Amino acid sequence: MVKIAVYGKGGIGKSTTVSNLSAALAERGLRVMQIGCDPKADSTVTLHSGRKLRTVLDLVREKGNGFSVHDMTAIGYRGIVCVEAGGPSPGTGCAGRGIIAALEKLKEKGAYETYNPDVVFYDVLGDVVCGGFTMPMRNGYADQVFIVTSGESMALHAASNIAQAVWNFRGRGYAKLGGLILNCRKVEREDEKVKELADDIHTAIVGSLDFSKTVQKAEALGKTVLETFPESQMAGEYRRLAENVMRACGGELPC
């Protein structure tokens, strides 16, 4: 099982990237699980034609422990197993602690054993790297962390903070930094800025995604680019990125 955490600041296109990576790997015949670790609970919407899922924390609030692993999961595009951790009611709790509770509940209910995925993606908000939001980096969860960034200042700042969090966990058997994913926004010197960051944090850029209206059109339909425009240039870029990510993790894709 390859376990991957993808981080990035809010609005950077992280969930779009993860969902299209999930679709690209499922297209190659792999069993994929995608776990949204953002209180907005919108990581998997394009894998369900725009429909939001009931979150793990919603189930805990409504039923205590009286629910099954199948209540926590939904099967999306090409059989992708989808989970949304969710968050606390506004003003009533810590979103980071909510992620901890949701991931612990997934383990307790045997989600990984039930579905036996080849690849697990944790889609994690990266504006604030507090204890709860670093949960997917910890031992037993993700093996590799990839950071989605652009050349925008706030995205680069968030990426640097996330890399520092990974570095702070070194020596504990936690996830390692797999690399950066450049999601282009057409800012000045974008490639150079992201390359400078990669050099500063001693990692590589594993892939680059063009700024494209194809992505916006697919999302307006509530679907991934792979599902809506499978022959497009962007679909090809997501497929190449999926190959690069798996290669960086030491995994092999079926022919």
Options 42, 58, 71, 127, the catalytic residue:
127
State the catalytic residue, choosing from 3, 9, 109, 223.
9
Q: How far, in Å, CA of 225 to CA of 166, rounded?
A: 30
E strands along 41-166, which residues?
74-75, 81-84, 119-125, 144-149
Residue type at 154 in one-letter notation: M
Contacts of 25 (CB under 8 A, 6+ apart): 32, 118, 119, 242, 246, 253
Identify residue 6 by its one-letter amino acid code: V
Token reading at 59: 């189930």
40 belongs to the catalytic site: yes
Which listed residue (14, 105, 109, 223) is catalytic?
A: 14
**Residue listed under structure tokens 């899922």:** 53
Phi-psi region of 74 (alpha: psi -120 to 50; beta: other; left: phi over 0): beta
Q: Choosing from 40, 52, 176, 217, which is the catalytic residue?
A: 40
Dihedral, CA atoms, 49, 52, 53, 55, nearest 10 degrees? 150
Buried b (16+ CB within 10 A) or exposed e, 188-221: eebeebbbebbeebebebbbbbeebebbeebbee
14 is catalytic: yes
Cα 181 to Cα 205: distance, rounded to the nearest angstrom: 6
For tokens 């507090």, the residue is 130
Active site residues: 9, 14, 40, 127
